[in-house]
């Protein structure tokens, strides 16, 4: 039986995966005409084609293992298409697939595509993602120390490249730090569809950009104040920044020199393992650059202008979120409890009035509530 060719683009995170997945979704029909199937639900394809942030065309399914999922796809691949799956989630489960090669190698011809990134950029981007999507509010230095200066992405990437080598599994490793602007095109070339790359749609597109230092600083403060009460606030504001100001200049998080040296020292083994599978000109940095980076007057002015735009957008979005939060309707049970408390005789006249006003705001049609409020206000005049 002929094997099904699988290309698994596994990320890792913060290496242009959203742009790659949008490119694949946009070109899915052209790819299929070339015998390359990018299986994706129509609604998800539409979102990804509109350059929205998605998780690709694969997600973990607790009811079926990745091995069985690939075998099922191979069994139903009646036209013998090549199949492309793209997801950052694959990055964390791929070792199990590789280690159990004997279960699928008779039916699957596997090719792993993985991007890696210079460690300073990666740790900074990982921290930003925690702030943007998960509401983290710890300082960057604390974030690094909490991970004991280890980059889990580089540790996992080193494990994957060594497995692919030891098990003789085909793979492509790309240094994203050197190919930020052509990562999608490179992956199209790897799957044999370079001429299907949707260049006009993707030219200059930035999806899920990193935050500027000022944006990040403000987001950390907002998370610290509001995240516990409004868990979605970090995502809401970050999405507003990314959607309305997609091309604002981002900057790496600042880190002290002694901490940077610890990062490189603790991850040296992983970086060296990865570099074995990259051409010398494509190697990841293995030592921190001590050269001071200077910006021009024009760059400084551009940053200040962008900061002013971002600050206003953050303020407007925060105001909108907080206004919506205040306007949220209480449940009927809560309104009943508020009314009961107002009439319990255990609260002051002022609190009774405030409780009744709250109840009316949530139940404006209540005529009896209106009469109770009038009575309470009349009572307050006689006290």
Residue with tokens 């070109």: 27
Given this model, what pLDDT does residue 190 score? Answer: 97
Given this model, what pLDDT does residue 273 score? Answer: 97
- What is the per-residue pLDDT across 18-46, written as a single tens digit (0 to 9) for each? 999 999 999 999 999 999 999 999 999 99
Strand partners, 50: none
Region 89-106 average pLDDT: 97
Q: Quick check: helix, strand or coil at residue 193?
A: coil
Burial string for 19-42 (b: 16+ CB within 10 Å, else e) reads bbbbbbbbbbeebeeeebbbebee
The more confident residue out of 303 and 49 is 49
Judged against a pLDDT cut of 80, whether residue 12 lies above it is answered with yes
Percentage of residues in the chain with pLDDT exceeding 90?
A: 69
DSSP character string of 236-304: HHHHHHHHH-TTPPP-PPP--HHHHHHHHHHTHHHHHHHHTTS-GGGPPP-S---PPP---HHHHHHHH
Distance (Å, rounded) from C-alpha 84 to C-alpha 38? Answer: 5
85 phi and psi angles, rounded to 5 deg: -120, 135
Judged against a pLDDT cut of 70, whether residue 184 lies above it is answered with yes
The more confident residue out of 207 and 194 is 194
Given this model, what pLDDT does residue 202 score? Answer: 94
Q: Quick check: helix, strand or coil at residue 155?
A: helix
Domains by residue range for the chain, with CATH: 4-130+141-204+256-290 (3.40.50), 211-249+293-328 (no CATH), 332-382 (no CATH)
Among 136, 67, 76, 139, CA closest to 104? 67
Angle at 216 between CA 321 and CA 44, to 5 degrees: 65
Given this model, what pLDDT does residue 315 score? Answer: 93
Q: Quick check: helix, strand or coil at residue 329?
A: coil
> CA–CA distance from 142 to each of 136, 139, 264 (Å)?
11, 5, 17
pTM for the full predicted model:
0.82
Judged against a pLDDT cut of 90, whether residue 186 lies above it is answered with yes
Given this model, what pLDDT does residue 330 score? Answer: 77
Judged against a pLDDT cut of 90, whether residue 334 lies above it is answered with no
> What is the pLDDT confidence band of residue 383, given thresholds at 50, 70 and 90?
low
Distance (Å, rounded) from C-alpha 351 to C-alpha 348? Answer: 5
Task: Say if residue 12 is preceded by a cis peptide, omega within 30 of 0.
Answer: yes
Given this model, what pLDDT does residue 153 score? Answer: 97
Given this model, what pLDDT does residue 291 score? Answer: 63
Region 322-331 average pLDDT: 76
- What is the per-residue pLDDT across 64-85, written as a single tens digit (0 to 9) for each? 999 999 999 999 999 999 999 9
Given this model, what pLDDT does residue 357 score? Answer: 87
Distance (Å, rounded) from C-alpha 187 to C-alpha 115? Answer: 10
Judged against a pLDDT cut of 90, whether residue 4 lies above it is answered with yes
Given this model, what pLDDT does residue 292 score? Answer: 64
Distance (Å, rounded) from C-alpha 267 to C-alpha 253? Answer: 18
- What is the per-residue pLDDT across 237-296, written as a single tens digit (0 to 9) for each? 999 998 888 888 788 888 889 999 999 999 999 999 999 999 999 999 999 876 666 778
Distance (Å, rounded) from C-alpha 166 to C-alpha 184? Answer: 28
Given this model, what pLDDT does residue 346 score? Answer: 86
The more confident residue out of 171 and 254 is 171
- What is the per-residue pLDDT across 133-147, written as a single tens digit (0 to 9) for each? 999 999 999 999 999
> What is the pLDDT confidence band of residue 156, given thresholds at 50, 70 and 90?
very high
Distance (Å, rounded) from C-alpha 157 to C-alpha 93? Answer: 12
Extract the tokens encoding 377.
């206000």
């Amino acid at each position: 039986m002929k094997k099904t060719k699988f290309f698994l683009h596994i990320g890792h995170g913060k290496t242009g995966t959203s742009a790659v997945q949008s490119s694949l979704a946009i070109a899915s029909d052209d790819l299929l005409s070339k015998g390359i199937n990018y299986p994706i639900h129509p609604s998800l394809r539409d979102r990804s084609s509109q350059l929205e942030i998605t998780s690709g065309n694969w997600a973990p399914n607790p009811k079926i293992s990745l091995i069985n999922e690939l075998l099922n796809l191979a069994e139903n691949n009646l036209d013998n298409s090549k199949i492309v799956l793209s997801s950052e989630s694959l990055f964390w489960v791929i070792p199990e697939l590789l280690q159990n090669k004997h279960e699928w190698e008779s039916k699957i011809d596997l090719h792993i595509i993985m991007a890696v990134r210079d460690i300073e950029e990666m740790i900074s981007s990982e921290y930003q993602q925690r702030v943007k999507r998960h509401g983290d509010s710890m300082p960057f230095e604390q974030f690094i120390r909490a991970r004991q200066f280890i980059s889990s992405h580089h540790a996992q990437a080193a494990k994957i490249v060594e497995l692919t080598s030891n098990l003789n599994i085909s793979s492509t490793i790309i240094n994203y730090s050197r190919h930020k602007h052509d990562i999608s095109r490179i992956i199209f070339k790897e799957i044999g569809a370079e001429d299907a790359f949707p260049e006009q749609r993707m030219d200059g597109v930035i999806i899920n950009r990193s935050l500027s230092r000022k944006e990040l600083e403000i987001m950390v403060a907002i998370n610290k104040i509001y995240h516990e009460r409004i868990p979605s606030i970090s995502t809401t504001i970050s999405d507003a920044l990314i959607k309305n100001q997609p091309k604002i200049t981002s900057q790496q998080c600042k880190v002290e020199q002694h901490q940077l040296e610890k990062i490189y020292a603790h991850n040296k083994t992983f970086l060296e393992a990865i570099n074995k599978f990259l051409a010398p000109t494509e190697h990841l940095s293995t030592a921190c650059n001590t050269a001071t980076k200077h910006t021009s007057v024009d760059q400084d002015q551009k940053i200040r202008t962008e900061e002013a735009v971002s600050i206003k957008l953050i303020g407007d979005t925060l105001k909108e979120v907080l206004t919506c939060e205040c306007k949220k309707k209480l449940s009927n049970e809560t309104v009943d409890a508020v009314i009961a408390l107002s009439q319990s005789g255990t609260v002051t006249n002022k609190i009774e009035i405030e409780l009744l006003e709250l109840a009316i705001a949530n139940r404006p049609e209540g005529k009896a509530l209106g009469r109770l409020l009038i009575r309470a206000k009349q009572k307050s005049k006689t006290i």
